[in-house]
Amino acid sequence: MKILLLGGSSFLGRAFASEALARGHEVTTFNRGRTATDLPGVEAVRGDRDSADDLARTAEGRQWDAVVDTSAQQPAQAARSARLLRDRAGHYTLISSVHAFADWPARVVGEASPLHECPADTPPGQEFSAALKAGCERAVLEHFGAGRTSVLNSGLLIGPHEQGGRLPWWLERMARGGRVLAPGEPGRPMQLIDVRDFAVFGLDLLTAGTAGRFITTAPPGRLTYGEFLAGCAEAAGGGGAELVWVPDGRLTAEGPDRVQPWSELPLWMPDGPEAAGIWRADTGRAEAAGLRCRPFAETARDTWEWLRQRGPANDTEPDGRKRGRVLHGIEPGKEKRLLDAPAPLG
């Protein structure tokens, strides 16, 4: 097959490109060439998807069997590409997010759950919001057609080449060893999907010509926070990390050491009605269509190996590009104060 990847050089796009090449497909990537280097074996086309001329020049006189859009953030971007490519490709895979659902994360969501209100013709240049993903979906379906489009509502992606730094931060923290602040309680469920499993599933649907919407993340109940942290400690090895579980209430208490959920302690969100469905998205339809997820231990091990090969996050790639900075993690002094604070009486 001939596949056009809108994006295709970093993390999710890279995973799609790698899997497609391994299957013997011809892959064209369209991106600005600023985030990361394209994989050997792809046809790398430089351009900005916000430029109608750049995209039109790429598509002129060409045909693809399928498009995989990993980079649409604005409905106007999605509309432009779907409108331009609808007569030049047979299938369109749009990577959306569970953020597109209006009820998430407060409620469990499924494919039939309502989307945020965001029209397909939303003007470009909007400040990022969860609703924009819903607008991207409407734009592609309107211009490319539901019968030739698959929408993958992604859960939280982890794995080698991760840019956000959530799993990498925990791995590097475990490698430093010592007492490690473990937030909440170990039995709290999680839903994380290895980026490579996501790409495998997306390409399986694409090659079969399957249309429709699929919530694409690990099935509920496969992983707990305790298993996640233990897996990180095992993968990073040898640092002698000791998990010290600190209740949500102490972490969210008002004061200078109040912890910011999600960012200071990655992937931690205290229990509450506003997050009741965060790790409980219904993946039954994707599982029935063939979604399979590898054990977390394998993802942690491979991500740690990639981190060791990559080196410090602030270094540069061989061609001079800056590697992505880790965006998450609690300051060591703050972590120590929380660990040293006496537990409240009663």
Does 264 reside within a domain?
yes
Please write down the HEC assignment for all residues of 312-341. Answer: CCCCECCCCCECCCCCCCCCHHHHHHHHHC
Q: Which domain holds residue 231?
A: 166-191+222-276+295-340
Task: Residue 78: give its domain's CATH number.
Answer: 3.40.50.720
- The tens place of each residue's pLDDT in the chain, 346 residues long, gives 999 999 988 899 999 999 999 999 999 999 998 888 899 999 999 999 988 899 999 999 999 999 999 999 999 999 999 999 999 999 999 999 999 999 999 999 999 999 999 999 999 889 989 999 999 999 999 999 999 999 999 999 999 999 889 999 999 999 999 999 999 999 999 999 999 999 999 999 999 999 999 999 999 999 999 999 999 999 998 778 999 999 999 999 999 999 999 999 999 999 999 999 999 999 999 999 999 999 999 999 999 999 999 876 544 444 433 344 445 899 999 999 999 987 654 4
Amino acid letter, 132: L
Tell me the pLDDT tens digit for each residue of 283-333.
999 999 999 999 999 999 999 999 999 876 544 444 433 344 445 899 999
Per-residue pLDDT of 77-119, as tens digits, reads 999 999 999 999 999 999 999 999 999 999 999 999 999 999 9
Instruction: Based on the fold, state whether residues 70 and 175 are members of the same structural domain.
Output: no
| 253 and 111 belong to one structural domain | no
* Domains identified in the chain, total number: 2
Decide if 122 is inside a domain. yes
Task: Let me know whether 136 and 242 are in one domain.
Answer: no
Full-model pTM? 0.93
User: Do residues 239 and 299 both lie within one domain?
Assistant: yes
* Domain shared by 178 and 309, yes or no: yes
Instruction: State whether 124 and 178 are in the same domain.
Output: no
174 and 110 in a common domain: no
> Reduced to 3 states, what is the DSSP secondary structure of residue 127?
coil
* Domain presence at residue 203: no
- 178 and 91 share one domain: no
Question: What are the backbone angles phi and psi of residue 29, rounded to the nearest 5°?
Answer: -105, 140
User: Which of 134, 154, 174 lies at the terminal end of a domain, its last residue?
Assistant: 154
CA separation for the pair 218, 232 (Å, rounded): 18
133 and 29 assigned to the same domain: yes
